[in-house]
Structure formats: C-alpha cells, structure tokens
Amino acid sequence: MSYRILEKQQYSEKVFKFRIDAPKMAAHAKAGQFLMVRANECGERVPFTFANWNADEGWVEFIFMVVGKTTQMLSSYEVGDEILDVTGPLGQPTEIDEGRWCVIGGGVGLAIANPVARQMVEAGREVHVIMGARTKDLLLLEDQFRSFLDDDHLHITTDDGSYGEQGVVTAPLERLLQEKAVDHVFCVGPVPMMKFSALTAEKYNTPIIASLNPIMVDGTGMCGCCRVEVGGETKFACVDGPDFDATQVNWADLQMRQAAYRTEEGESLKAFEEGSCSCQK
Amino acid sequence: MPEVNGRYIPNAKAPRVPDNEEPAAERACDFRPVDKGYTKEMAIEEANRCLNCKKPLCVDGCPVNIKIPQFIEAIRAEEFGRGLDIIREDSMLPAICGRVCPQESQCEGVCILNKKGNPIAIGQLERFLGDQPELGSTPKIAPKNGKKVAVVGSGPSGITCAGELARNGFEVTVFEAFFTGGGVLVYGIPEFRLPKAVVKREIDGLTELGVKFEYNSVVGRITTADELFEEGYDAIYIATGAGLPKFLNVPGENLPKVFFANEYLTRVNLMRANEFPEFDTPTKHGKNVVVFGGGNVAMDAVRTAKRLGAERAIIAYRRTEEEMPARRAELHQAKQEGVEVMPLVAPLEFIAGEDGNVASVRVQRCELGEPDESGRRRPVPIEGAIEEIPCDVAISAIGTNANPFAELIGGMELNKWGYIVANEETGATSNPRIWAGGDIVTGAATVILAMGAGKKAAADITEKLGA
C-alpha cells in the first residue's frame, strides 16, 4: 500500500493541503472523521481531520499548518512523494441533525469546518459559517466556503481587523442566536474559541458540538492519550469523538493535556532544523 | 544422558539450572533482553532433571496441552528438531510463549518436582527450542483450497490462526490497525522481555507461507464484515484483542504525566520514544514513578520507567506480592533492578504541582480481609491510614475493557460488556461465517490462551470450509 501525494496546495506561508491516493479510505470517509499519518520510519503518529475525499477517484485530502517537526517535514513533501503510513477513517462521523446550522471554524480549524459545512449543505441544511483567524493571511479556504455559501451565510472575523469584522467569532454567533437564525452550532479551532462559543450558545439554549483535537498515539481507543473529560466522565476523543457536547467539555483539562509535550516538540523541531536527526522523506 | 543399563535415570536431585540473566545493574540502564536463555549445555542439564512422569501433570497444566515430557526427552537426546516438532503439534509460538507464559501458575506450577524443590524450567526449555526454528521440519502445506479468510488483528491469536489456515490451504489476509505486525507483542511487551526480532520472525514466517498483511487497516472503519464477505472472503476470524484501558476513577486521573500503561508502553515499544529525538515520539522521563497494578503490564511499565531513568520506581498494589498476577520471573527481575514494591495501597487522588503536572498521589493503606469471588483476599482500607507519595510520572495498569471495534465490525453477537460471544472450543460466533478468539472473547488473558484460540478456530474453519 502506498499513500502517494497526488496534489499539493499551499494556502499561506504555513498552511498546506495534500491530496493522497487512498481508495479504500476514500470509500469510507465521512465528515468529522480523521486519519493518522506516520510520515517515515522514525515519525510520530499525528491525526488530521479529512478536509475532503472522493470515493470515485480514490483520494482523500487533509490540511495542515506547520507547527512542529512532523508538519515542517511534511511541508517539504512534493507531488509524487509517498507518505509511509496513513490510517483511517477513524473517529465518529459528525451527526448532522435536522435544522439550521452554524459552523464555526477558527484558524486551522477552518480546514475541518469546511467539509463539515459542505456536507451539511449537501444534506439540505441551511448553514451559516463563521470564519475566524488572527489575521487575514491566516484565514483559510475562503473561496472553498464561498463555493457553496452566499454572502449572507458567510461571516468573517479577524482579531486584528485586517479582514472582515474585527473581533472574535462569538460576536457574529451571538447575533445569529439573537435572530434565532440557527438551531445547532458546530465549532472547531483553538480551545479558547471553542470554550467561548460554547458559553455563548449555552446562553441561548442552543446545542453546540465541538470537534476536539487532543494529542493521540494509537487513535483506536487502546492507549487513552487523547482522553478528555466530558460531563464529568472520561472520554476518548479517538473513538468516542472527536465531536462532543461543547458545553460539557473540561476545557482547562484539554488545554493542559494538549500542551503536555510542548518542550519536547520544540526540541524535536530544533533537532530537525539543525539537521542533527537523520529523518528523511 | 544419565543412564543405567540403557535406562534413563533422571538427575532429579540436581538444582534447577538458573536463568541466564544479564547483570541487573547493567540491564536496568538499557532495553537489552534481560534473559539470554539457556545454552545447549544448560538446556540438556535441566532436561536431565525431568522425571518423565507416566501421568505428566505439566501437560494438564498447559492451556494447550503441549506434550512437555516428550519434548524434554528430545532435548535430553539432543534431537532439538524433533523436540520443536513435538511442541509445534500444539503451539505455534514457542519462542514467544516460552518467554511470556506464566509458567509458575501453569505447567511448572503443577510439576511434581515442586514437592522436592524446584520444578523443571519448562518455559526456558520451550524457548530454547523455539529460538531455533530452523531445526524443525518444514511444515506440510495443503494444496490451495480456493477459500479466502480475513483475519482481523495480528496479535498472537490472529497470527496463529493465519498460519494454521495458510498451511491448511487457505488464502489468508491479515488486517492490522498499526503499521507493523504483532499487536500486543510489539506495542505492549517491552524489548527487554520479548525482542521485536522474535516477533518479526513469526510474521516473516507467515509472509513466506503466503499470508498477506494489510497494515493501517482498522476493520470496522475502513471495511466491515459485510464488505469483506462481498469482496469474496469466505470466513472472518476476529482477534482484535482487549481494548480500552480501565480507569482508576479517582480525581486527577487526567492530569498531564498520568498515563495509562498502554500509552506509556506504546510510546516506547512501538514508537521508540526512548530514542527521542532521533525518533519523533516523545515520552516523559520521571524521576519518581508510581505504577498502580500488579500484573505483567504493571511490571513492564515500571521496568520501562526504570530504564528511562527513574531513580525511584514503585509498584503500588492493593493486595500483597503473593496475590500479584504478574509472572514471578518479572517480579523477581523487577526487584533485582531496584523496583520498589509497595503492597496494600489504593490510589485516592492524583495531585497537581504548580506547573499543572502530577506531583504526588494520595494513597489509602489497606489490609487483607476475607477472600472475594476470585478467591484472593480482598483489600480493606485501614481507616485514617492515608499517605502522600511524591511522583512526577504516574501510571495506571489495572486492566482493560472490551475493544470498541467489535461492534463496528458487525455481524455477530456481543455480550453486555462488549466482548464477542464465541464457542470456547471452536471460536464459532452467532454468525456462521465469523469466528473469534483471544482477548476480544475472553477479556484480557494470556498469549498462550489467545494462541490456542486461534489454533482451535483455524481447525474449525478448516473443518467447516476446507473441503
């Protein structure tokens, strides 16, 4: 089995999309699910949510932002290169309940929000999307969202006001909720964004699900690295999620567990940049 | 061979030949195999102690009834190939089971020599033969029967079933979720106890037999039972193993640097975190490590912690050493390596330090009360006896629950705990085309039982479909 890169697209300095050859995976992928990549023999296993897939053509896509060693190395892969191991689909698909939806994507979470929103539109739902980013350059996939949404259904915020409305995603969310324009909310992005989106939706008694992204090792429920407290119970994001009721998530816990290897991640990236590790494509 | 007038006289009064272990102080610093195994001379000397009982208790003590006195007799006669062939009639994985079986509660536990001293080192002798696979005769392979079987999982049960079926003429494909074969033998059991090369030899042997491996394939997600049948498979053997770790259910269990043993072991064994940053996956090197549990997984975790540089590595168990389900050899070796055993404690709470990581664990001291259903004496809390143990890594190794993928694979009945309902003797499930065995049927058990289940299922599949 080879996972050849069929297409590579660069959205910004640090954000890339890969289309890879994976016919069986493509035939079974659903919105909200993820795959796990091990780039080479010494690679770690890293989860990425499906950005898109095509069962007829036999490919899946994922989007990644360069944040550490693995993503840095992946960004150097070109069309025709092969990724050593790709496992998926994993996780529970996003459940698209009846009603009108608001999909919120923050930062690299937009890569996940995009296929989820598209699936909802394809399922016949009315969908509002709120795109949030720190600054204009980090706002991903605007064209891809516009391909299935009109101006009235696309809301853009940037922290620095360089594009769209200045501020954070909760402002347009609150307006939509006040206008009773949506029945369900889906959010994916950095922890503070999801946490405050949850608080906002809760205020209006509107159900909100969050797609969580903790560190994973095996991705099949065996190791428990990705555990997260939801409603006072321990859940495994890889098999019980990654979607959970956002009002029930212990965000402080999640944020701490996500940061648990920050020092090692820095060390690993440094070794890679200095060429002191022997990793190759 | 000790003989009088051509008759074998066992050297039963001789002491048991000790294990051929690396020096504890040296081996505790790296991941080298702890037990080098018997040399030829040691094996023959040990074999010479065997009484060759008329009614051998050891055979009954073995979960798969290996003809133990016969293979020991073959070692005595220095006919190692013949000895290996005798084992292979009942067990496909002697190199592995010789290393990881709990012999003291099986074959060696019932050896008649226990009454006079030490039992025969059956595990060592099994391993001695298992480590020389080239000496055995080449197994006969039946002509292709045109039937296809999908095996789900490449742990001990899956690879045994796959091997048997391939020899019986089936076309076999093994689906494995990870990128490499062996299941718990590679992600769970550390290199110092079961070298990866030993497992790889078994997997390579299957490949030579024509068994195909599809890695990175989580059956239940990338395909289902129904789809496999549509693709032309005639039968499926499900051996996905035990699954989710059990929780201690105490506050602070989700703090950073509190691990389930599965994660702690997978990072090192499968992802080689001990070689970080040469390998990308990191782990936490604790100075004070506490492991909760008393089984082999707990032993593997605490000995791994020692090798990652722990100054104090503690096994905290709610009963006493005597009740620990771990192999005696592991407990003995762990203690040699400086592991501390803290009996009769149960965790109450993990407490975070200023940096948010676990900094200590509060434990309840217990005493032994009346026996429970398992026959082991139940730990009873001693009122007010609460202590705080400092730790910068804590590991929970108290067992597993059912693997959630059994349900997603579909097509057969599960019990209320999520394990597959299967016939103990045949592995047959409620679906006439699906068989199952190993931990996903029994709950977490031993490698030998999983191996045995794979063998029985292969026999039943062959009987039902082979003609």
Q: What is the pLDDT of residue B384?
A: 92
Interchain pair A223, B257: CB under 8 A: no
Judged against a pLDDT cut of 90, whether residue A242 lies above it is answered with: yes
| Mean of pLDDT values over A117-128 | 93
Backbone angles phi, psi at A173, to 5 degrees: -60, -45
| Mean of pLDDT values over B272-292 | 95
Judged against a pLDDT cut of 90, whether residue B351 lies above it is answered with: yes
Question: Residue B52, exposed/middle/buried by CB under 10 A (0-12, 13-18, 19+)?
Answer: middle
At CA B101, angle to CA B400 and CA B24, rounded to 5? 95
Sole residue written with tokens 């949030």: A132
Judged against a pLDDT cut of 80, whether residue A276 lies above it is answered with: no
Tens of pLDDT, residue by residue over A164-182, are 999 999 999 999 999 999 9
DSSP letter at A34 equals E
At CA B261, angle to CA B259 and CA B262, rounded to 5? 105
Judged against a pLDDT cut of 70, whether residue A281 lies above it is answered with: no
Judged against a pLDDT cut of 90, whether residue B80 lies above it is answered with: yes
Residue A98 to residues A134, A183, A198, A224, B80, Cα–Cα distance (Å): 32, 9, 20, 32, 69
Tens of pLDDT, residue by residue over B147-191, are 999 999 999 999 999 999 999 999 999 999 999 999 999 999 999
Cis peptide bond upstream of B277, omega within 30: yes
Question: Residue A76, exposed/middle/buried by CB under 10 A (0-12, 13-18, 19+)?
Answer: exposed
Instruction: Report the DSSP beta bridge partners of residue B235.
Output: B149
Rounded-to-integer distance, Cα A26 and Cα A28, Å: 5
Rounded-to-integer distance, Cα B41 and Cα B211, Å: 36
- In chain A, what is the straight-line distance between the N-terminal and C-terminal CA atoms, in Å? 17
Query: Measured between CB atoms, which of B255, B256, B262 is closest to A224?
Result: B262
Q: What is the pLDDT of residue B32?
A: 93
At CA A200, angle to CA A195 and CA A202, rounded to 5? 95
CA distance B108 to chain A (A): 32
Helix ranges (DSSP H) in B220-348: 225-230, 261-269, 296-307, 328-336
| Mean of pLDDT values over A82-88 | 95
| Mean of pLDDT values over B330-334 | 94
Six-digit token pair at B376? 């082991």
| Residue B197 contacts residue B289 (beta carbons within 8 Å) | no
Query: Measured between CB atoms, which of A223, A236, A256 is closest to B266?
Result: A223
Pairing of strands A45-54, B434-436: unpaired
| Mean of pLDDT values over B42-54 | 95
Residue B124 to residues B37, B38, B94, B95, B303, Cα–Cα distance (Å): 7, 7, 10, 9, 21
Closest of B252, B183, B256 to residue B213, by C-alpha: B183
Tens of pLDDT, residue by residue over A195-227, are 999 999 999 999 999 999 999 999 999 999 999
For residue A221, list chain B residues with Cβ-Cβ distance below 8 A. Answer: 243-244, 403-405
The percent of residues in chain B predicted with pLDDT above 90, rounded, is 85
A140 or B190, greater pLDDT: B190
Rounded-to-integer distance, Cα B26 and Cα B19, Å: 16
* Type of residue at B341: V
Secondary element (H or E) of residue B358: strand B358-371
CATH topology (fold) of B3-135: Fumarate Reductase Iron-sulfur Protein; Chain B, domain 2 (1.10.1060)
Q: What is the pLDDT of residue B287?
A: 96
* Type of residue at B135: L
- For CATH 1.10.1060.10, the residue range(s) in chain B are 3-135
Task: Quote the pTM value.
Answer: 0.93
Q: What is the pLDDT of residue A1?
A: 59
Closest of B408, B456, B455, B411 to residue B433, by C-alpha: B411
Rounded-to-integer distance, Cα B164 and Cα B155, Å: 14
| Mean of pLDDT values over B295-320 | 96
Average pLDDT, chain B: 93
What band does B406 get if pLDDT is binned at 50, 70 and 90? confident
ipTM score over 0.90, yes or no: yes
- Tally Cβ neighbours within 10 Å of residue A270: 13
| Residue A215 contacts residue A231 (beta carbons within 8 Å) | no
Closest of A180, A158, A177, A160 to residue A169, by C-alpha: A158
CATH 3.40.50.300 assigned to domain B245-396? The reply is no
Q: What is the pLDDT of residue B2?
A: 67
Residues of B with CB under 8 A from a CB of A: 177-179, 187, 214-218, 221-223, 243-245, 247, 253-257, 259-260, 262-263, 266-267, 271-272, 276-282, 356-357, 403-405
Minimal Cα distance from A261: which residue of B? B282
Q: What is the pLDDT of residue B116?
A: 84
Q: What is the pLDDT of residue B99?
A: 93
Interchain pair A217, B281: CB under 8 A: yes
- Cα Rg of chain A, angstroms: 18
What band does B140 get if pLDDT is binned at 50, 70 and 90? confident
Interchain pair A217, B218: CB under 8 A: no
DSSP letter at B448 equals H
CATH of domain B148-243+402-464: 3.50.50.60
For residue B179, list chain A residues with Cβ-Cβ distance below 8 A. Answer: 38, 84-85, 87
Q: What is the pLDDT of residue B138?
A: 84
Judged against a pLDDT cut of 70, whether residue B467 lies above it is answered with: no
Q: What is the pLDDT of residue B441?
A: 95
Closest of A31, A93, A87, A119 to residue A240, by C-alpha: A93
Rounded-to-integer distance, Cα A146 and Cα A156, Å: 12
- For CATH 3.50.50.60, the residue range(s) in chain B are 148-243+402-464, 245-396
CA distance B401 to chain A (A): 10
> What domains can you pick out in chain A, each with its CATH number?
3-90 (2.40.30.10), 101-258 (3.40.50.80)
- In chain B, what is the straight-line distance between the N-terminal and C-terminal CA atoms, in Å? 46
| Mean of pLDDT values over B342-360 | 96
Q: What is the pLDDT of residue A141?
A: 87
Rounded-to-integer distance, Cα B317 and Cα A48, Å: 39
- The SS3 assignment for A105 reads strand
For residue A259, list chain B residues with Cβ-Cβ distance below 8 A. Answer: 256
Judged against a pLDDT cut of 70, whether residue B1 lies above it is answered with: no
Average pLDDT, chain A: 92
CA dihedral sign of residues A239, A243, A248, A254: positive
Minimal Cα distance from A259: which residue of B? B256
Judged against a pLDDT cut of 70, whether residue B362 lies above it is answered with: yes
Minimal Cα distance from B256: which residue of A? A257
Q: What is the pLDDT of residue A195?
A: 97
